[in-house]
Amino acid sequence: MTGEPLSGVVRRVALPQRTVDSRLIVVARAQRAEDYDAVLEVLIDAGIRSLELTLTTPGTFDRMPQLLAQFGEVADLGIGTVTNAADLARAVDAGASYLVTPITSSAFVEQATDAGVPIVPGGLTPTELFASWSAGASAVKVFPAGQVGPGYLKDLRGPFPDIEVVPSGGVDLDGAAAWLAAGAAAVSVGGPLLGDAFAGGDAVALRDRAQAFVEVCAR
């Protein structure tokens, strides 16, 4: 594959097919893990099929068994904001569908790949993104995507034509369409979709926003 080291084949674990097909990852950053249930139910009912649960939400690991039992048959549940090897191992053990980290770490990529779990490391510069991709990342997260815009992907594809990119950070509805049109594998969306959902916001409005993103990201 173009852009990969010449010495041998890079091991790469593919993202779950539901995530690939939906082209949309919703980042669920709650105040408490108990708040996940009601919001995820609305999102999944609206057609969301891939959710990243963040470790900045206290109790995420403890809540995973219940969430997987409730939603695991219809949606991929990843674990994000992974910033150390111990949490990565715990996320694997918890049954995460995929892992997301805001940083560039070939060690994390190797650890996740050894465990057979997809991983999407973050980065912004070409050096960071290529380091993760060439190490075997499932895709690379351009973060914060709002600082560069969809045109950045065209520039990256010049030297790295095969790189799989997931923009994250400030991606709104129009931005999602533009990034996907530019060739992003998927978009990672938080605030512009969730709004005040974790602060008691209107469930109908949340469903409407989610359905709008699902429609934009549909192939």
Take residue 86 and report the two structure tokens written for it: 């111990």
What is the side-by-side order of every strand in the sheet holding 165-167? 165-167, 140-142, 119-123, 99-101, 76-80, 50-54, 24-28, 187-189
Q: Which two tokens stand for residue 102?
A: 């805001």
How far apart CA 120 and CA 98 sit, in angstroms, is: 8
CA dist 86 and 95 (Å) reads 15
Helix or strand (DSSP H, E) at 176 = helix 173-181
> What residues contact residue 177 under an 8 Å CB cut-off, 6+ apart?
216
Active site residues: 52, 141
Q: Are 139 and 185 in contact (CB under 8 A)?
A: yes
